[in-house]
Amino acid sequence: MFWQILNTILLVVLVLMTHNLLKIFLLSKIKVSKWIVLGATIVFLGMSIFAAVSGDVWLLYLGVFLTSNLALWFMDLKGWGGDKTLVQNDKSAKEEKIVIKSKAKPNRVKNLSEQEKEKMLLKKK
C-alpha cells in the first residue's frame, strides 16, 4: 500500500516536472491544433486502460504519463491554465484596441468668419 502511494506521488511529480520543462523548451515552439492533441490524449488513454486490464504495470505508467502530459498540453492550448503563452486562436489576444483619431482639417481657418478668427487668435495668446 505504501509503495503504491509513493509510486503515484512520484508519477505526479514526474509528470508535472516533465510538462513544465517541455512547455518551456519544446511546446511553446510547436504549432499544432489543440484537437490533434486531444485526439492523441484519448488514444493514449485507451492504451493505459488496455494496460490496466492486461496487468502490465510499466505500460500502465507510460500510458498515464503520456496521457497526463498530453492533457496538460491540451489545457495549455485551450487556455484553461493561468499562463496564456501557448493559447492559439484566441480572438481577444489577436484583437488590438482601436483608437479613433480625429481627421485634421487644414482649411478650417479659411472657412471661419472674422470674429471667430479673432477669438482663436486671442485664445492662443
Task: Tell me whether residue 96 is in a domain.
Answer: no
Structural domain includes residue 110: no
- Tell me whether residue 57 is in a domain: yes
**Does the residue 78 lie in any domain?**
yes
The pLDDT value given to residue 108 = 61
- Does residue 121 belong to any structural domain of this protein? no
- How much is the pLDDT for 89? 53
Number of domains, the chain? 1
Give the pLDDT score at 82: 67
Q: Is residue 23 in some structural domain?
A: yes
pLDDT at position 56: 85
Grid cell of 88 as nine digits: 492559439
pLDDT of residue 22: 93
Determine, yes or no, domain membership for 52: yes
Q: For residue 104, tell me if it sits in a domain.
A: no
The pLDDT value given to residue 73 = 92
Residue 82 and residue 99: Cα distance in Å, rounded?
29
Q: What is the mean pLDDT of the chain?
A: 83
- The list of the chain residues with pLDDT below 50 reads none
CA dist 23 to 55, 58, 82, 88, Å? 32, 25, 13, 14
- Name the DSSP letter for residue 62: H
CB-CB contact of 26 with 38 (8 Å): no
For 45, the domain range is 2-89
| CA nearest neighbour of 39 among 11, 74, 85 | 74
